[in-house]
Chains A and B, each alone.
Chain A
């Protein structure tokens, strides 16, 4: 019943996972694993780092060097790991609250530093693990346990935040558009610099049920499909048409900027040569 990739990379004795039926997290994880397999990365040199929340449990399920850190701080740990050993491929998985609320500062600074990490945000617009509280990406007007009258605040657009902060690879995919997600993650891992992949995904139990999508996983996925628009199409839409829609695709892929660990390595050689 397991695919070759599942048998190769999953810690099967840790299943079933804590993720609810219909949760999109498993789809994103599968995409990450297919990509690592396709890229033929040495699993001994892959480190997966997470923060806290439903997304935070991802590393526990995969057979790499895995680190489940504190809420919001995964990128700071990953920065230390990558600088300490640039040979490692470091993949950081975070939730929307994890990356853009409590971890917002680490997020923008990792983007600015252009350190070679791949940050994948499982963006389901809600705090799932703690029971459905409002998150920094909860859409205006959507309901959450701590927004019982609807969200009054304007949400973050994580991809635009990453672009503004200087990330050199920025993309948005969804857990509905799976082949596209595979490709976005592949390019993100291959990119030498800070890659951000904002992945729109479902939380049927804590977002769907409160927002007229029911707890049905397929219905929630269809909702994700309905709000996603290819970037090229989105750019041709007027402001009215854009309301409630999210462009998906690659927003930036810039190889011209220096990557931090490479710059550092070169500098260290110079400093040592000069004594």
Chain B
């Protein structure tokens, strides 16, 4: 295998921060090379250097033996390096076709629509993707949107594809399909840099793994030389992982009773369809399902962010079907939202102000119409130390925090009122191992003190590890429950695809 990309001693600093200290690695043609590292290890910076968004202070890059210095992502793209970002760069109101066309180089002002359509369709067929060119992007699932990003790069004849945590938004089935496509690409001689946190995937797909830690590449291991434990050890190093012990002690008392709930989405389609669920006191109820099968609607209906068109929600004996987000919260439902940056925080305000976002009217934090700044500051100090939030200097806006720390801020805020019910939507998505484990610990500890959790997650391993029961959703309906101690990934996978099963437990 010939060497496609060679990176030598890359160093990149920002004022006061060394983002990349000393990074070296190579990517061969037709290789799937995984970059592994905790949040803040420098993966994103490295990718931004690679695609020309940042310029390294020192170090060299060679592409196919030629020294290169990219000045912009457009520059690197023209040399065959393309990246699928975690946040997609799509125009939601436009069709799939238009979005792809937008990314193409040298499309004439008056273009041959049919020619391009055929060209794109051929690519879609090659990889057996399920994608309709005329659908508007906003109607598509996240998984399908990712295909668009990938097709855009393939049409530009990229030799090196960079995928930044591509499976974070996919279901096991979608991820499996992505992997199939990646292998096909590999056979065509394309190189792939794969960034992921999920150990199972790293083990499955990688030819080689380079571990980043604190801005340096500390090891590159070939397939056969690495296993999950070695990698985790390298990645975390001396850092401590919070320990937690799960004990089953759920009572039979039903704390939340969802009866025949229906809700419609923006497109007028049923997101929740005659959905029923019972949550018991102190249990962690995992919800499994392919993305877009009503999980988000369920969470929003429970937390009052979405109107319910039919059915009822009871908390104990109280009907809480029709209440605003605020009154639901008072009834004791906490919520970790899916998209933490877009609805979880006010990015320009500091940690202290974000921590009181839901309780600012509480008499604890105010004196009449005035805010009690001292109490707010004390509350922040307390939460920052209790939840191990790395918050930066006092008063600095939350948007400068890492994803893991932002998630901790949200969790600290949501759990501080000792809610009776927690609805957590993908709470560990995009987090490093340390932060994810910490959040698991918080949820399990909460269950120990009587909090019931509805945990919606995409990682089946996570669900199996944490849940007392797993409920499987399909097209807005409850397909059935599974017992994590006696079920298998395959069985849940089948249920996720709509295979009916007797509702047991």
A and B physically associate: no
Interface residues of A (CB under 8 A from B): none
